[in-house]
Amino acid sequence: MVRIEVLGPLRVWRDQMPVRITGRRQRLLLCVLVAEHGRTVPAGRLIDALWDGDEPTDPQNTLQQYVSHLRRALAGVPGQTGGLLTSPPGYRLSLGLGGVDLADVESLVSRARVFLDNGEPGTAADLAERALSMWRGAPFEEFGDHPVLLRVAEAAAGLQLAAVEVLTQVRRTAAGPAGVVQLIDAHPEWWTAREPLVAALVWALAAVERPADALARAERFRRVARDRGVVPGPVLVRLCNEVALYGRARTPIDPPKPSTPAERALSEFVRTLPLLGRGADPTGALAHHLTLVRALNLNMISNDSARWRREMDRHAAEVEQSLIDARTIDPVLGLDLALELARYWDWTGRLDLIRVHLKALLEAVGAKTSARRADAHAWLAFAWRNEDPQRTATHLALADAAARSPDELGRALAVRSVVQRPDDPAAALASAQRAMELLRRHGTIEEAAYAHVVAALAALAVDDRPVADRHTADAAALYAGIQHPSGLAWIDVIEARVHGRPADRAAAFARDHGDHSVDALLADLPLP
């Protein structure tokens, strides 16, 4: 049996005997394959990782030699693969259960969370401690700062802290603050990077009458967070204020439990998602990720949007891999997933990702029937609007031609209005009016509200403030009905422009939630 350990210096075992991998590039190749365990890594990507533009005369042949050397080292028997498989257009490392320490940790932490939430803290603590015992140092220690491995190394470090969070929760419940302080004193390096852990640290130190230590550690975290451009959250701020005033915490620091059946179901779904594991069936993963993103999009419009954004970020790499797999597995389903993700990427300003994946999936769909083709072209027109007018015009025409229903045509017209507004505001207002009429009858409440926002912006562009005010009021009523905070932030910006006042609520929302769409609107509609 082959086992590869990357949670520290690279170690390879075959039948419990150490195996030495010679050559820096061969070790880097193995680390890249471990980082994508169970997935095919294209040869071109491996070449880029190994040589970064400084390739040898025949990089393909050199890569094949490296793979052959690794196979001999892993298998120990000529002619065997050792789990390193040729998988066009590249190579795939596929080891069984217990073959990679990073995969073992992912499974252990996921299971620990499930057992903790199901009221079995003892089992949860055992699993978390097993996961933590696998760490021997920084993930991919020799290559942790390599661009190809950096994201996976950061995610692995996040798994360690997630295990610490499970163990902390169990200790808080079973042994109180003294149990948490034992963890703090034994492993001080765990308590610097993640805010929930810092909050638990402050709470525990204050509870054992060490408030000065608690506030000093909180201030250290604040400085680190400030250097990263991160603002401490309200729980930690309130906790520090209470410790400073009273010497202890006076209100609970536990995160709120999901309040509705839908949120409870989504929380369970998110917790069990990592159990798909690396190398899971790509078709099942694609359908699973589509369900996840649809559910998260429903909750992204809740007032806990920052929380659900964090959940999306945790799974972003796996979801994006499903988009890549969909090009060959099921491009029609992949187009649905890309369009759901487009809403999230608009929130975060990642229009480059919208362009890459929608273009590739539209090409993969080809002549296949897809009801979302018009929406895909409309999104591409929106994503190119500030950079390539010709592509924007082409995609608008394709969206109009592909529209097969009134709601599809309404969404395409809303995008057309956004594109037209800088150069032809009168045409933009006409397009917005048509979009609004179609989407109020045939679209969702959210789509109808957005159409009113587009119409209000178009009316402002022709300086028709009464019309803009009317559309803004209609949009506000619809957004309030579905408790859509980013939509209400848009309303605040437009109302500020109409009435000549600051858009303080919208600016605060954009700052607190990282909403790129609100930031863009604030920049697009400055006050006179």
DSSP result, 230-253: -PPPHHHHHHHHHHHHHSS--S--
**Given this model, what pLDDT does residue 398 score?**
92
**Given this model, what pLDDT does residue 280 score?**
56
Residue 453 lies in a domain: no
Arithmetic mean of pLDDT, 204-215: 87
Residue 498 lies in a domain: no
Query: Residue 452 pLDDT more than 90?
Result: yes
Higher pLDDT, 118 or 241: 241
Residue 292 lies in a domain: yes
- Rounded distance, CA 48 to CA 496, Å? 50
**Given this model, what pLDDT does residue 278 score?**
47
**304 class by beta-carbon count within 10 Å (0-12 exposed, 13-18 middle, 19+ buried):** middle
**Given this model, what pLDDT does residue 507 score?**
83
Amino acid identity for residue 378 in this structure: A
**pTM > 0.75: yes or no:** no
Return mean pLDDT, the chain: 83
Q: Quickly state the pLDDT bin for 143 (edges 50, 70, 90).
A: confident
Q: Quickly state the pLDDT bin for 521 (edges 50, 70, 90).
A: confident
**Given this model, what pLDDT does residue 348 score?**
72
Asked if 379 and 358 touch (Cβ cutoff 8 Å), the reply is: yes
Residue 514 lies in a domain: no
Phi and psi dihedrals of 86, rounded to 5?
-80, 125
Phi and psi dihedrals of 65, rounded to 5?
-65, -45
The residue out of 336, 370, 404 marking a domain boundary is: 370
Residue 86 belongs to domain spanning? 2-93
Q: Quickly state the pLDDT bin for 167 (edges 50, 70, 90).
A: confident
Query: Residue 10 pLDDT more than 50?
Result: yes
Domain total in the chain = 2
Comparing CA positions, the residue from 353, 424, 359, 351 lying closest to residue 394 is 359
Comparing CA positions, the residue from 368, 365, 303 lying closest to residue 337 is 365
**Given this model, what pLDDT does residue 404 score?**
86
Query: Residue 308 pLDDT more than 80?
Result: no
Residue 16 lies in a domain: yes
SS (H, E, C) 180-229: HHHHHHHCHHHCCCCHHHHHHHHHHHHHCCCHHHHHHHHHHHHHHHHHCC
The tens digit of pLDDT for each residue in 44-71 reads: 889 988 987 788 889 899 999 999 999 9
**Given this model, what pLDDT does residue 29 score?**
94
Query: Residue 216 pLDDT more than 90?
Result: no
Arithmetic mean of pLDDT, 517-521: 81
The tens digit of pLDDT for each residue in 463-497 reads: 999 999 999 999 999 888 877 888 888 899 999 88
Q: Could you tell me what percent of the chain has a pLDDT over 90?
A: 25
**Given this model, what pLDDT does residue 528 score?**
53
User: What is the CB neighbour count within 10 angstroms for residue 204?
Assistant: 26
Longest CA–CA separation in the chain, Å: 81
Among 116-130, 228-242, 390-404, 432-446, whose mean pLDDT is lowest?
Answer: 228-242
The residue out of 347, 370, 393 marking a domain boundary is: 370
Q: Quickly state the pLDDT bin for 392 (edges 50, 70, 90).
A: very high
Asked if 111 and 62 touch (Cβ cutoff 8 Å), the reply is: no
Residue 250 lies in a domain: no
- Rounded distance, CA 338 to CA 518, Å? 22
**Given this model, what pLDDT does residue 366 score?**
82
Tell me, what CATH number does 27's domain have? 1.10.10.10
The residue out of 339, 370, 401 marking a domain boundary is: 370
Arithmetic mean of pLDDT, 355-380: 86
Residue 517 lies in a domain: no
**Given this model, what pLDDT does residue 301 score?**
63
Query: Residue 256 pLDDT more than 60?
Result: no
Query: Residue 279 pLDDT more than 60?
Result: no
Residue 135 lies in a domain: no
| Residue 255 tokens, joined | 């995160």
Query: Residue 77 pLDDT more than 60?
Result: yes
- Three-class secondary structure of residue 387 per DSSP: coil
